Amino acid sequence: MMDILNILLSESFWAASLRIATPLIFGVLGALICERAGVLNLGIEGIFVVGAMCGWMAVWLGAGLWGGVLVAALAGAFFGLLHAILTVPLGLSQHVSGLGITLFATSVSYYTYRTALPNVSSPPRIEPFQPLDLPVLSDLPFLGSVLFQQTALTWLALLLVALVWYVLNRTALGVAIKAVGDNPDSVDAQGLSVYGLRIGAIVVGSALMALGGAFLTMSAFDAFFFGMVNGRGWVCIALVIFASWRPGKALLGALLFGAFDALQVRLQTEVGALVPGQVFLMVPYVLSIIALVIAARSADYPRALLTPWFKGQR
Amino acid sequence: MIRIELRQTQSRAFTLGVPILSAVIALGFAAIPLLAAGANPIAAYAEMFRGVFGSVFAFSEVLTRATPLIFTGLAAALAFRAKLWNIGAEGQLYLGAMAAVAIGSGVLDITGILLLPLIVLMGAAAGAAGMVAPTYLKTRFGADEVVTTLLLNFIILIFVQMMLEGPLQDPMGLGWPQSAPVLDQGMLPPLMERMRVHSGLVLALILAGLAQFMLARSVWGFKLRAVGENAAAARHAGINVNRSLFGVAILSGGLAGLAGVSEVAGLKGYLTADLSPGFGYTGIVVAMLAGLSPVGVVIAALFIASVFVGADSMSRAMGVSSFLADLVVSVSLLCVLVGGFVARYRIVRASTARAVS
């Protein structure tokens, strides 16, 4: 017990939690924007892969770190647009289209990587984002190493939480996005474009998802591996429901998840001899299912989620 | 102004034409990545064709590759008919495979002709068991089965790795994470000499025929389709929707489990953690190409298997990454989706539409 307490009080534990949470914050925010507009985006897993690969490759080709971030976001937006066209004006099954996008985006990324680097024994590395060592702030006792030594992408993720919250709750655009996910007819009656709002939300949401992938290759690691996303996208889909489609709770959900994940890694080193290591590896996925089950009963789904809407057809 | 209108009738030409056209477009699309890789597309297509139809052995490899895809394709097709989104065929496949090696490698003292039927039954049961929890969580708590089945795939795969380094590890395996081999009498017999194609294919074809018949002709099939088309109306008509969902969940999981049995007891002979290169996920594409028809699943599985086998041999000959096959498969899924839209709707000029109505 004392060990767990020691872990929970350590700076490195909370720093790790925030690090693990960062790609999930991007992913949950992205999925949240899509679903608030009424469209489930199961392309998220593949869009993570695209973001990870494109961001990394852009840097590797000399675009610079922020250039890589931009390329990743644009690539995510592109696959989001594809999903948007299939699900919004064409009104096709959001489940199947999303899975199709995941398969397509993943295979495009893998094929491109393999074609660009046919025979490499070890994946080439880039110089990733470095921790922002802020003067004075970094020397603060506890917060210093938890908050102020994260990379710029973690800061971007935290900033986006606030931005998404602000747009959704304090602007006319946010009201329209939420309305289009609840009652598209009312939006149409006001003369706003249901298609435009939904497509826009999916494109922007997908760009954010891709940033989650980019964090993996440009901050958490410094190279691209096959299978490195490893279900993180699906975890985000579970966390959105846990967060009841609210940015603040999304941040909380991602942080809780990060904390549990960081804890299991540390427990693994403590009691690793007693339990097979794989038990700990299962923890994140089991947690996601538990979070989903807890939240599902009272979940207040956007009312028009999964329901296609066609102009002039009531 | 143009607008989109639901077709009154669906022509047969469309239901057959859309998947075929999608397959052709997807194959045509492959020219882009081939050119990007600096390969001559025509030579590449020729190489793929040779890899599929070039010899009896080549084609037998397609049949071998199609076998698990028929199982997972059926698993997806049946579940999707009831709008039960089982995306967990990959995990259920591994559950079936684990059951097959647990029973089949001589741990249990069963010999003779009983072993093989027992392996098949227990493999199916294990796969079905993998679908029970998500269906329970869906019907009891409203937890989305898409997410639970997807996450379970990862949990099960980690569990397989744990078992292969633990109780299921081959004691004679020099420490490799692989299971002991299935006993000879537990193996699905091969269909042709010196070929890898095995009687799992026969089982798959029989089950496809059976599923087609049950879906079209039985009360069970009627209920299943009713639940899928409109669950609320089905409930109103006195159909026990949850029971129907559990029924199809068990069948779907069982079929996916059989894919694992067939790969272990028909092909590999033992279990490793890389048994399936995503057969579970590819089964979804197979089912969609088939328009969720069980007989269509067989044809779609043969097509997808040809793409994989052809791309493998092309990849070896021309040095193009075999991820090309995954690209073609995913593009064919997106094409068939759009094609389904074209088949269901027609685009009309608003003025003429008004005149008609």
What tens digit of pLDDT does each residue of A178-200 get? 999 999 999 999 999 999 999 99
Per-residue model confidence (pLDDT) at position B353: 46
Query: Could you give the C-alpha distances from A226 to A230, B95, B147, in angstroms and in order?
Result: 9, 24, 22
* Chain B neighbors of A306, CB-CB under 8 A: none
Percent of chain B predicted with pLDDT > 90: 71
Confidence of residue B356 (pLDDT cuts 50, 70, 90): very low
Which residue of A96, A115, A241 is in closest CB contact with B36?
A: A115
In terms of Cα–Cα distance, which of A27, A68, A36 is closest to A206? A27
Contact by Cβ (8 Å): B248, B224: yes
Per-residue model confidence (pLDDT) at position B355: 42
* Chain A neighbors of B319, CB-CB under 8 A: 118
Give ipTM to 2 decimals: 0.92
Contact A103 B85 (CB under 8 A): no
Per-residue model confidence (pLDDT) at position A2: 60
What is the residue whose two structure tokens read 């350590």?
Answer: A10
Residue A286 parent element (H or E)? helix A277-296
Domain segments of chain A: what residues?
A: 19-117+148-230
Go through A131-164 and write b for each residue having 16 or more CB atoms within 10 A of its CB, e for each that does not.
bbeeeeeeeeeeebbbbbbbbbbbebbbebbeeb
* Chain B neighbors of A288, CB-CB under 8 A: 147, 151
Q: Is A117 on the interface with B (CB under 8 A)?
A: no
Contact by Cβ (8 Å): B71, B255: yes
Distance CA B229, CA B14 (A): 21
Secondary structure class of B178 (helix, strand, coil): strand
Q: What angle do CA A256, A257, A261 make, to 5 degrees?
A: 115
Confidence of residue B56 (pLDDT cuts 50, 70, 90): very high
Per-residue model confidence (pLDDT) at position A113: 95
pLDDT at A203 over 90: yes
Please give the mean pLDDT across all residues of chain A: 91
Contact B321 A293 (CB under 8 A): no
pTM beyond 0.90: the answer is yes
* Mean pLDDT score, B116-137: 96
Q: Find which of A90, A104, A111, A232 to mutate to test the B interface (most B CBs within 10 Å of its CB).
A: A111
User: B230-239 pLDDT, tens per residue?
Assistant: 889 999 998 9
Q: Is B107 on the interface with A (CB under 8 A)?
A: no
Rounded to 10°, the helix B12-29/B294-318 angle is 10
Pairing mode, strands B345-349 and B2-6: antiparallel
In terms of Cα–Cα distance, which of A258, A262, A32 is closest to A161? A32
In terms of Cα–Cα distance, which of A88, A107, A109 is closest to A97? A88
Which of 183-202 (B) contact A at CB < 8 A? none
Q: Is A93 on the interface with B (CB under 8 A)?
A: yes
DSSP E strand boundaries for chain B: 2-6, 345-349
Instruction: Give the range among A218-232, B41-55, B56-70, B169-183 with minimum mean pLDDT.
Output: B169-183
Q: Find which of A49, A230, A234, A245 to mutate to test the B interface (most B CBs within 10 Å of its CB).
A: A234
Contact B159 A100 (CB under 8 A): no
Task: Check the CA dihedral B173-B179-B184-B187 and report its sign.
Answer: negative
pLDDT at A314 over 60: no
* Residues 6 or more apart in contact with residue B101 via CB below 8 angstroms: B168, B179, B180, B182, B264, B270, B271
* Chain A neighbors of B327, CB-CB under 8 A: 104, 107-108, 111
Position B128, amino acid: A
User: A142-186 pLDDT, tens per residue?
Assistant: 777 777 778 999 999 999 999 999 999 999 999 999 999 999 999
Confidence of residue B2 (pLDDT cuts 50, 70, 90): low
Phi then psi for residue B349, to 5 deg, are -70, 135
